[in-house]
Amino acid sequence: MARWQPHASERLVVAALELFEERGYENTTVIQIAERAGLTKSTFFRHFPDKREVLFGGGAVSGLLVEGIDAAPAGAGPLEAVAHALEVIGAEVFTSDRREFGARRSAAIAANPELREREALKGLRVTASMTDALKRRGVPDLAARVAAELGALAWKIAYERWTDAANGDTFGELARRTLAEVRAAGAVC
Amino acid sequence: MARWQPHASERLVVAALELFEERGYENTTVIQIAERAGLTKSTFFRHFPDKREVLFGGGAVSGLLVEGIDAAPAGAGPLEAVAHALEVIGAEVFTSDRREFGARRSAAIAANPELREREALKGLRVTASMTDALKRRGVPDLAARVAAELGALAWKIAYERWTDAANGDTFGELARRTLAEVRAAGAVC
DNA sequence: AAGCGTGATGGGACTTGGTCTCATCACCGT
DNA sequence: ACGGTGATGAGACCAAGTCCCATCACGCTT
């Protein structure tokens, strides 16, 4: 038998999300989260650098986006490369079994300014990563920044649609469609 | 003679910026900021809701952007309205006498993750305000979001250029030029 | 079988951000 | 002269986050 109960950080994430839903982020203490997960404050901060990060830990996303852009066919334009990356994310991270969790997580984040702030920072990082990846493909600086920004916007909207979706649309499909709409809207401005 | 030294919050801002430059944000205590301004911790938190906000207080920007968009000529497209708003900001807030302060402030923010995080949140709020203002002009939702995002990007780049500027370019001029470049880059994607 | 290094955990002291409440005290109008 | 006002000071208090040390079961070595 294992010495400790396994999946400590997953347990912390679940406990945190439950408590945030029950009593709100700011009325929840790190100690309470740790206790619900059968752990202590020390252990919490060993798994997450701060209280907010417990809802943002699975940060493989940024790396996958970069890989997705790098792996896009050489002839693809900047926005096509971004579309390719979004489909990678959809296949690897935003799988249908995580849809409900994603929706609960989004609701918790939307309900609290501190969590929205952290989400905004993550958004900046993702955009910066995409910009760099596009520049490595030879896309000129400004075009790369614009494409990354539009990609991030499409991602945000697609994520909203995915978590709300009553039908079984894949994140990848939604993202592709949304990016096309964003592109069309951009052409009109 | 005045009962208290005037301009308490300005003094706090100056003291904070100096200390952040001298020893870094995280090695600076709210008590130290207050002492340098000849005040106390209590008074600091009476003027600013938290330590980060001392560099983000003059938040009239968001409101001015909305006014600028509202005041744009009725025939102007979304990006023209945004351009109009950016020039309002340039005339009212980013005046040439605040250029040096802006540069120092930007450097301090860039040097610290917590401050970058707060800046990211402010960016979200500004984008949301612009989106709403554009929608009030009858711009359809998605186009409004795209235009606001491109406007925010142009603003960010123009601000960088303005604080770096060796020549005497006005923020308004820089913003107009930058927005045109962003638009052109968007058309290529 | 006994011993030892390892790694995740527990425990608790400590600093700082942030909140709250009460006291102070110079100005101002009556 | 007097009381209201408004910005400030003082200090208790809680929670986030850091640090250091102890614990203890597992597996490997001897």
Distance, CA of A119 to C1' of C18, in Å: 22
Number of structural domains found in chain A: 2
Backbone angles phi, psi at A168, to 5 degrees: -95, 30
Question: Does one domain contain both B80 and B18?
Answer: no
Of B50 and A1, more confident: B50
Contact A132, A153 (CB under 8 A): no
* Eight-state DSSP code of residue B140: -
Across the range B87-111, mean pLDDT stands at: 95
B111: in domain: yes
Window 13-72 of A: residues touching B by CB (8 A cutoff) are none
Token pair of B24, please? 């870094």
Question: Residue B22 half-sphere exposure, CB side, CA atoms within 13 Å?
Answer: 11
Full domain range(s) for residue B115: 58-188
On whether both B17 and B74 belong to a single domain, the answer is no
Q: What is the pLDDT of residues A63-118, one digit of tens each?
A: 999 999 999 999 999 999 999 999 999 999 999 999 999 999 999 999 999 999 99
Confidence of residue B123 (pLDDT cuts 50, 70, 90): very high
Shortest distance, CA B174 to any CA of chain A (angstroms): 15
Per-residue model confidence as pLDDT tens digits over B141-184? 999 999 999 999 999 999 999 998 777 899 999 999 999 999 99
A58 pLDDT higher than 80: no
Residue A3 lies in a domain: no
Q: Could you read off the pLDDT of A111-152 as tens digits, one per residue?
A: 999 999 999 999 999 999 999 999 999 999 999 999 999 999
Tokens 């945190």 sit on residue: A16
**pLDDT at site A2:** 64
Q: Which residues contact B152 (CB under 8 A, 6 or more apart)?
A: B123, B126, B127, B130
pLDDT at A159 over 80: yes
pLDDT for the residue B185: 95
Q: Is residue B23 part of a domain?
A: yes
B124 at the A interface (CB within 8 A)?
A: yes
- Write the single-letter amino acid at A137: R
Chain-centroid distance, C-alpha B23: 24
Burial of B80 (0-12, 13-18, 19+ CB in 10 A): middle
Distance CA A112, CA B145 (A): 22
What's the CA gap between B65 and B70, in Å, rounded?
9
Distance from CA of B130 to the nearest CA of A (A): 14
Rounded CA gap, A79 and A178, in Å? 12
Q: Are residues A12 and A68 in the same domain?
A: no
